Amino acid sequence: MNKSELIDAMANDAGISKVAAKAALESFISNVTETLKQDGKVSLVGFGTFSVAERAARQGINPATKAPIQIAAKKVAKFKAGAELSDSVMGGSNKK
């Protein structure tokens, strides 16, 4: 499902216009982005948690030349699925 299809589904499910659904989705994305920029986290109980993690600097290899390269440390966005979402995707069982 792409963004356009998600907007269509949201509009249909909520009984609102596509314009309103697009505005709601863009607001959600904007608010999550701003919170993560400030090193915050967004928790949606049953769905999951968006957060920021630090990725340490590390040694890598240039695949073309096989020469070692230094990969800089950086912050990355993470999503951890909640129990309800995991159970739904796993067919009712969250166990391996």
DSSP 8-state assignment for residue 32:
H
pLDDT at 91: 81
pLDDT tens-digit profile, the chain (96 residues): 999 999 999 999 999 999 999 999 999 999 999 999 999 999 999 999 999 999 999 999 999 999 999 999 999 999 999 999 999 998 865 554
**Residue 80, SS3 per DSSP:** strand
Question: Mind giving me the DSSP string for 29-93?
Answer: HHHHHHHHHTT--EEETTTEEEEEEEE--EEEE-TTT--EEEEPPEEEEEEEE-HHHHHHHTTS-
pTM (two decimals): 0.77
**Residue 61 Cα distances to 21, 69, 75, angstroms:** 44, 6, 21
Residue bearing tokens 């739904």 = 88
